[in-house]
Amino acid sequence: FRFKDSLAQDMRSADLVISHAGAGSCLETLEEGKPLIVVINEKLMNNHQLELAKRLHRGGHLLYCNCSTLVETLQAMDLSTLKPFPPGQPEKFALFLDKIVGFQ
């Protein structure tokens, strides 16, 4: 989408969400319990999207790739291996983000 006030309804009806690796997008999708593939933008400051994607991937919560490997990721994905993201802990997620971005 180019712009939309809210993606909540689209996300609720989705079988798979493909997004950038922004913290808000990741958290919203994972809290909705939807399988998530994040496409990192390697040109962003300090490549924080990659750090976040790797961390959430290590926890088994999402798959990640870049633009050039998206098709390969879609072909090889096994969504049954993804683990639910623990709900209701926004303060822990905020601390985690602070650490990744270097605020701690």
53-74: average pLDDT: 95
Residue 38 has pLDDT above 80, yes or no: yes
Q: Three-state SS for 34?
A: coil
> What does pTM read for this prediction?
0.79
DSSP 88: S
Q: In what order do the strands lie in the sheet with 17-20?
A: 17-20, 36-39, 63-65
- Measure the CA–CA gap between 67 and 46, rounded to whole angstroms: 18
| Whole-number average pLDDT of the chain | 87
pLDDT at site 66: 92
Q: With respect to CATH, is domain 7-101 assigned 3.40.50.2000? A: yes
Q: What is the mean pLDDT of residues 25-43?
A: 91
- β partners of residue 19: 38
Segment 1-33, tens digit of pLDDT = 788 888 889 999 999 999 998 888 898 999 899
pLDDT higher than 90, residue 83 = yes
Question: CB-based burial of residue 57 (10 Å sphere; 0-12 exposed, 13-18 middle, 19+ buried)?
Answer: middle
